[in-house]
A and B are shown apart, each in its own frame.
Chain A
Amino acid sequence: MESGLSSLLSVSIDFETSHLFFPRIIHWILAGLFALILVTKVAPFMAAVKRGERKLPIVGEARDSFRFFGTLVLIVAYFYLMAVVGNMFPYTGYGFLFVSMGFVLLMAFLYMHEWTKKAVITAVITAIVAPSLAWFVLAKLFKITLP
């Protein structure tokens, strides 16, 4: 009995595949937990959704789609253009500086609720000053690499 148990527990790890040993265990645990959650949480939740008591997260909820997707689009464009402009002026950080200015301005406009003259002017000033300040302090004073 004793030897049976110890042979059950004994394990030898092949060095060649040792990088897969732990991930495989994690996969099994993940699968097991997921199944448990499916049964105990997701199934009752879906039933409640069907009865109309609860709403599906993300797809079923009300959201400010314009601002949400606008944010995603702006961030993707920001990251992409930063690298593009940055490659035109390598090792200067100009890619960060100029693209950030545009990004800050557009995002401020995107989130602005009351379009007053004062609000627009503050947004423009912020869009010019904040990236310049960050660029100056980080790239010039601290010599940190920027795109």
Chain B
Amino acid sequence: MEFLSLLDITFFLLAGLGALVGIIFGAIPGMTATMAVAVCLPLTYALGLNHGLALLLGLYVGGISGGMVPAVLLNIPGTPSSITTTFDGYPMAQKGEGEKALRVSVIASVVGGLISAAVLFFFAPVLADFSIKFSYVEKFLIIFLALTVIASLSSNMLVGIFSGVIGIWLSLVGVYSTSDGGNGKTRLMFDAMEPYLYEGFSLLPVLIGIFGISTILLEAEKGVKRDIAGERVKLGKGNSGFSLSIFKGRMTNLVRSSFIGTFVGMLPGVGGSAASVLAYTQEKNLSKDSSQMGKGAPQGLIASESANNALTGGALIPLLSLGIPGDSTTAVLIGAFTLQGIQVGPLFIPENVNTWYVMMTALIFANIVMFFLMFYAIKHIAKVVMVPKHLLFPIIVMMCVVGAYAINYGIMFDVWTLLIFGVLGYVIQKVGLEVAPLIIGFILGSQAEIYFVKSLESFGTFSIFFTKSPIAMVLWALIVASVVFSIVVGMKTRAKQKMELSQVAGSTQVKPGKDRDQNSR
């Protein structure tokens, strides 16, 4: 219980503040949880590890939850993971049950968040304990598996793999560091670039550029319209008509969706929309009466919102036990850890037991704060969707600059990196490549190289990747399984899901950036 001494009033205030700011970010269409975490990173430079984590986890939980507000009230998912919330939330809002819909969603969210936190708490240490024994060979195969899973679950496997490999390529720019056993030579650049790129591209400016600047560019291209102009926020009047009895007989749905969300969250690089769509279709297939779904049934909200909040705990599992981020937001969290000089991986939990408990406290507390804020102050928070973008966007660019500049204590090239990757992120999304696999590839690429080359240097044969240990063979089986899964099942279900979704979404206005589902939450 030593970690209790690390918790002070500031810690809880920061977690609460994070949840509030996160909700606001999530509630503004186009702003995502990833962006909230990326933009607020500079604040953590001066905070120290525990306080910084409190703020960031609060932002993460709040950001994912906030997306329900515009989904219900305006039929625009605030974050892509709220896409299925629009199916039933908006019809309810039109019937004047907006507040009821939001309250159902809030309760589903907090249950999903807490269930996934519990899974995280029990499962991550076990997985970490298991993976501690991994040698370079298994570590490489784990990364390889992660990349295969990302690719096999992205909307097009070939494009997913290609995006991931581009990410790996970008991570290799710069020196093959001697501290990692390399020979200290640079590659993939011209000699003239050496003063800037010797260490390669810094992680955080890359992330902030891709998630912050490119979003601004995509919006600017559309003319920064106010999607909400002329629309009235329909909260419903007087008695919201909400009572806990709505959840009667819905516990199976709630728990099932939470576990689906947690599981999807564990798979690296899979977008939040996948979790909520999966939970939603499962409820549609398995529930006794799904005839009202899509027309304003609370059961749809329960499935969607519990699944997308369950992602938070799920995505942290591979991050804390294997060092592999489960989604783009946790990818930014890796940056925050690196900033504090902490390496995430199998040794993280055993070596930082107190930090681990602190994180769990922050996660659970953030969920509770999110619940109270949204349950009781929902009417006021709902107004946030009206904040004019022409004031918001310049401030976001400004915060991105601070984040990039301060990361390495004042290097102007990091600010230019923002622009380079902002434009790159824009182009990537325009030509139909996928950002999430690219980012995960970028984060894992340099480690993959080290593990791969070291394995070959010590064993001298490619066959070692197949014969090193039973674990290696199991990993290969999983890799093959994920590829086969995506080819065989993927094609069938995709066609089926497309049909179902187009029926459900017939009346739903989906944001033009739907392609970006996978990339940002």
Spell out A's residues near B (CB within 8 Å). Answer: 6, 9-13, 15-16, 18-23, 26-27, 29-30, 33-34, 36-37, 40-41, 57-58, 63-64, 67-68, 70-72, 75-76, 78-79, 82-83, 96, 100, 103-105, 107-113, 119, 122-123, 126-127, 130-131, 134, 137-138, 141-147
Known contacts A126-B391, A142-B45; 10 additional CB pairs below 8 A are A21-B453, A22-B452, A30-B162, A41-B158, A71-B220, A100-B401, A104-B395, A108-B391, A144-B45, A144-B402
Q: How distant is the Cα of A143 from the Cα of B46 in the complex, in angstroms?
A: 8
Q: Are B398 and A134 in contact, with the CB atoms below 8 A?
A: yes
Q: Are A112 and B390 in contact, with the CB atoms below 8 A?
A: yes
Q: Are B183 and A15 in contact, with the CB atoms below 8 A?
A: yes
Closest to B463 in A: A9
CB distance from B224 to the nearest CB of A (A): 4
Which one of B410, B416, B462 lies within 8 Å of A147 (CB-CB)?
A: B410
In the complex, chain B residues whose CB is within 8 Å of the CB of A68: 217, 220-221
Q: Are B162 and A107 in contact, with the CB atoms below 8 A?
A: no
Please list 13 pairs of residues, one from A and one from B, whose beta carbons are closer than 8 Å in the complex, sorted by A's number: A19-B185, A29-B165, A33-B162, A58-B427, A63-B221, A75-B397, A78-B397, A107-B390, A107-B393, A108-B394, A109-B390, A110-B390, A145-B406
In the complex, chain A residues whose CB is within 8 Å of the CB of B187: 19-20, 23
Q: Cβ of B182 < 8 Å from any Cβ of A?
A: yes
In the complex, chain B residues whose CB is within 8 Å of the CB of A71: 216-217, 220
In the complex, chain A residues whose CB is within 8 Å of the CB of B188: 23
In the complex, chain B residues whose CB is within 8 Å of the CB of A75: 213, 397, 419, 422
Q: Are A144 and B226 in contact, with the CB atoms below 8 A?
A: no
CB distance from B499 to the nearest CB of A (A): 21
Number of interface residues of B (CB under 8 A): 69
**Most chain A CB atoms below 10 A, which of B169, B223, B399, B402:** B402
Which one of A11, A19, A37, A72 lies within 8 Å of B460 (CB-CB)?
A: A11
Closest to B220 in A: A71
**CB within 8 Å for A103 and B398 given contacts A11-B460, A71-B217, A112-B390:** yes
Q: Are A107 and B397 in contact, with the CB atoms below 8 A?
A: yes
In the complex, chain B residues whose CB is within 8 Å of the CB of A105: 394
Which one of B217, B412, B416, B462 lies within 8 Å of A72 (CB-CB)?
A: B217
Q: How distant is the Cα of A105 from the Cα of B216 in the complex, in angstroms?
A: 16
**CB within 8 Å for A37 and B159 given contacts A22-B172, A30-B166:** yes
Q: Are B398 and A130 in contact, with the CB atoms below 8 A?
A: yes
Closest to A29 in B: B165
If over half of A's interface residues share one DSSP class (helix, strand or loop), that class is named, otherwise mixed; here it is helix
Q: Are B412 and A83 in contact, with the CB atoms below 8 A?
A: yes
Q: Are A58 and B431 in contact, with the CB atoms below 8 A?
A: yes
Q: Cβ of B129 < 8 Å from any Cβ of A?
A: no
Q: Are A10 and B217 in contact, with the CB atoms below 8 A?
A: no
* Per-residue interface assignment for chain B, residues 388 to 416, with 1 indicating a CB less than 8 Å from any chain A CB and 0 otherwise: 11110111011101100110011010011
Which one of A82, A113, A130 lies within 8 Å of B226 (CB-CB)?
A: A113
Q: Are B221 and A134 in contact, with the CB atoms below 8 A?
A: no
Q: Are B406 and A13 in contact, with the CB atoms below 8 A?
A: no
Q: Cβ of B197 < 8 Å from any Cβ of A?
A: no
CB distance from A66 to the nearest CB of B (A): 9
In the complex, chain A residues whose CB is within 8 Å of the CB of B389: 111
Q: Cβ of B233 < 8 Å from any Cβ of A?
A: no
**CB within 8 Å for A111 and B158 given contacts A67-B223, A138-B42, A147-B410:** no
Closest to A86 in B: B412
Q: Are B158 and A37 in contact, with the CB atoms below 8 A?
A: yes
Q: How distant is the Cα of A113 from the Cα of B226 in the complex, in angstroms?
A: 9
In the complex, chain B residues whose CB is within 8 Å of the CB of A21: 453, 456
Which one of B156, B165, B390, B461 lies within 8 Å of A11 (CB-CB)?
A: B461
Q: How distant is the Cα of A6 from the Cα of B332 in the complex, in angstroms?
A: 42
Q: Are B461 and A79 in contact, with the CB atoms below 8 A?
A: no
Q: Are B182 and A18 in contact, with the CB atoms below 8 A?
A: yes
Closest to A91 in B: B410
From 153 to 172 in chain B, residues with beta carbon under 8 angstroms from any chain A beta carbon are 156, 158-159, 161-162, 165-166, 168-169, 172
Closest to A36 in B: B158
In the complex, chain A residues whose CB is within 8 Å of the CB of B390: 107-113, 123
CB distance from B351 to the nearest CB of A (A): 28
8 A-B pairs with the lowest CB-CB distances in the bound complex, closest first: A142-B46, A64-B223, A19-B176, A111-B390, A107-B394, A145-B410, A104-B394, A71-B220
Q: How distant is the Cα of A76 from the Cα of B418 in the complex, in angstroms?
A: 11
**Most chain B CB atoms below 10 A, which of A75, A100, A122, A141:** A75
Which one of A96, A130, A144 lies within 8 Å of B46 (CB-CB)?
A: A144
From 181 to 226 in chain B, residues with beta carbon under 8 angstroms from any chain A beta carbon are 182-183, 185-188, 213, 216-217, 220-226
In the complex, chain A residues whose CB is within 8 Å of the CB of B461: 6, 9-11
Q: Cβ of B506 < 8 Å from any Cβ of A?
A: no
Which one of A22, A40, A58, A147 lies within 8 Å of B405 (CB-CB)?
A: A147
Q: Are A103 and B406 in contact, with the CB atoms below 8 A?
A: no
Q: Are B182 and A79 in contact, with the CB atoms below 8 A?
A: no
CB distance from B476 to the nearest CB of A (A): 15
CB distance from A119 to the nearest CB of B (A): 8
In the complex, chain B residues whose CB is within 8 Å of the CB of A107: 390, 393-394, 397
Q: Are A13 and B169 in contact, with the CB atoms below 8 A?
A: no
Q: Are B398 and A113 in contact, with the CB atoms below 8 A?
A: no
**Most chain B CB atoms below 10 A, which of A12, A15, A18:** A18
Q: How distant is the Cα of A18 from the Cα of B181 in the complex, in angstroms?
A: 10
In the complex, chain A residues whose CB is within 8 Å of the CB of B224: 64, 67, 111, 113
CB distance from B211 to the nearest CB of A (A): 15
Q: How distant is the Cα of A25 from the Cα of B404 in the complex, in angstroms?
A: 31
Q: Are A58 and B415 in contact, with the CB atoms below 8 A?
A: no
